[in-house]
Structure 1
Amino acid sequence: MLNFVEYTTQSALRNAGMRSVISFGIALLFFAATLVSFQVTDASAQSACFERTALMKHLSGKFEEAPVAAGLAANGSVLEVFSSPDGVTWTIVLTQPNGATCVMASGESWMGMKKPKKDKVS
């Protein structure tokens, strides 16, 4: 039969071993999650940039999208919104001053907004 000191020592060793296994598992899980987050960040950080004429031809041919809005940014870039006639698909494109044309966003269900009238507010 074990005396109290031997029993307590063996119990503490078992608990310490179990804690190290749990700690190792948590560390491994954290490491895996970190790797996955870097992969997601790297993939989402990549821009889809094309030659402007080729991109416009693709949007027109595959999705029947045409420009419906455009604006000039402070840095000289041109932001354009392309939409299909029925609004089923849309694409937002940014053309930078150096000529790079990149797709910033795309989606479905575009709804154009009417400009408010410039009447006086009473």
Structure 2
Amino acid sequence: DSATWNLDRDNGHEKAFCCINATPRDYAKLGQLVLNNGRAQGKQIIPLAWIKRIATPAPHKVDGWGYSAQWWHPPGGNGKDYSALGVYGQYIYVDPVSRTVVVKLSDYGDQQDEQETFDALRDIAQTG
């Protein structure tokens, strides 16, 4: 589907930290691409080194959570799952162990409970 990516100013550059606007199906395709180690239709679309970076949290946690290359690694679970997380409750959740991708779009405002959401996403992955 058509998507948009907000610019930093009129006729400017795409914002690197946010503001990709797409359909849930397209976000799921991104999650599936990550789950498939960056491969789609027999081609390596995302370098494997970048996928490994996404899947491996940096040594220093951020507010108790693992983080790497714009992907979050919440505490608990099987220790292998991670998610792209939008500022107002958008998720592309990937669990390589169960081979699950879940997209959740929300509009929380500034009040949200990411850990509770991750617990629910993990439950979905385990029952799928």
Q: What is the TM-score of this pair, normalised by structure 1? A: 0.26
The structure whose residues are more often helix, as a share, is 1
